[in-house]
Amino acid sequence: MSKPVIWQEVKWRDVKKVAEEVGIAILPIGATEQHGYHCPNGVDFFNAYEISKRVSARTGAIVAPPMPYGSHPYFHYGFVGTIPLRATTQIEFVRDVVKGLVNSGFRKIIIVQAHGQWWTIHTAVQEIALDVDCFMAVATWWELACEKIKEVCSTPFKHADEVETSVSLALYPELCDMSLAVPDYSLKPYVDKKFVRPAVHSDLINAFPIEAITSVPQESKAMQTGAPGDPRLATAEKGEAIVSTAVDVIVSLIEDLKKNYKPNEWPRIKPDLKEDMY
């Protein structure tokens, strides 16, 4: 496997070469957030960056500097270790970074995001599409590896649990301390859990997605460890199966883009309007 191309580690003429020969950039977006007693605060940031590097090594696409902060649902606010951005701050941040990538010659951008903030990143993509003519795709590992997670894990993904801790053990085991991992089912939602779909892998289909119903109390007051579920079920093998599945999907999207568009071409998205109304 070749080495990843990392924006902040190379010189500007190296960036130009990748723009001219590949034309695809990867933008990792994480979050800084508590991940229980046993995992580091940078889990989402590390996951986005490590997955991006693996994709780069296989495709030659360049990895832009990772965004370490993320936006958060209301119930994350107030937990020690968590540093939330407002959704509006994040959307404008992503817009400016995308413009910077476009100005360096990249009009095909894969956003590798690794935190429960998809409503913000998806909104960012729709907002930016009115403003900048570039191809964007949001790659969220637990969506791309949804079937694999169901296959290898016994619980649906929530946070710092069996699923996410497995990914941490696969990518940076030295920062995890499994002797501190304990089960935590202390968080009690405001409404019966049959109404709330906690994750994409949940079999509970006829219910409200968790980000669409204010069903959860403030976690810092209502949860003991910060890690709902049982992280003791995590293994590096499960994590590797999940990560490699997600990486394979992103690599195949990039290969498809390479096949259909030259490095300086892109699927046009900016609507052609009579007036610049937006």
Please say whether the dihedral angle defined by the alpha carbons of residues 232, 236, 242 and 243, taken in this order, is positive or negative. Answer: positive
Instruction: Tell me how far, at minimum, the Cβ of 146 lies from Zn ion, in Å.
Output: 16
CB atoms within 10 A of CB 182: 14
209 HSE (CA, 13 A, CB side): 10
> Of 138, 139, 169, whose CA–CA distance to 152 is shortest?
169
Which is nearer to Zn ion, 53 or 158 (by Cβ)?
Answer: 158
Is there binding between residue 162 and Zn ion (CB under 5 A)? no
Q: Which stretch binds Zn ion (CB under 5 A): 38-46, 76-84, 240-248, 269-277?
A: 38-46
Q: Which stretch binds Zn ion (CB under 5 A): 7-15, 35-43, 145-153, 194-202?
A: 35-43
Instruction: Tell me how far, at minimum, the Cβ of 171 lies from Zn ion, in Å.
Output: 12
Q: Which stretch binds Zn ion (CB under 5 A): 42-50, 66-74, 145-153, 251-259?
A: 42-50
Tokens of 254: 């990039």
Is there binding between residue 43 and Zn ion (CB under 5 A)? yes
For Zn ion (CB under 5 A), the number of binding residues is: 2
Instruction: Tell me how far, at minimum, the Cβ of 12 lies from Zn ion, in Å.
Output: 33
Q: In what helix (H) or strand (E) does residue 208 lie, and over which residues does it extend?
A: strand 208-209
Is there binding between residue 44 and Zn ion (CB under 5 A)? yes
Is there binding between residue 171 and Zn ion (CB under 5 A)? no
CA distance 49 to 7: 12
Residue with tokens 């968590």: 82
Q: Which stretch binds Zn ion (CB under 5 A): 41-49, 121-129, 256-264, 267-275?
A: 41-49
Q: In what helix (H) or strand (E) does residue 76 lie, and over which residues does it extend?
A: none
Residues in the site for Zn ion, rule: CB under 5 A? Answer: 43-44
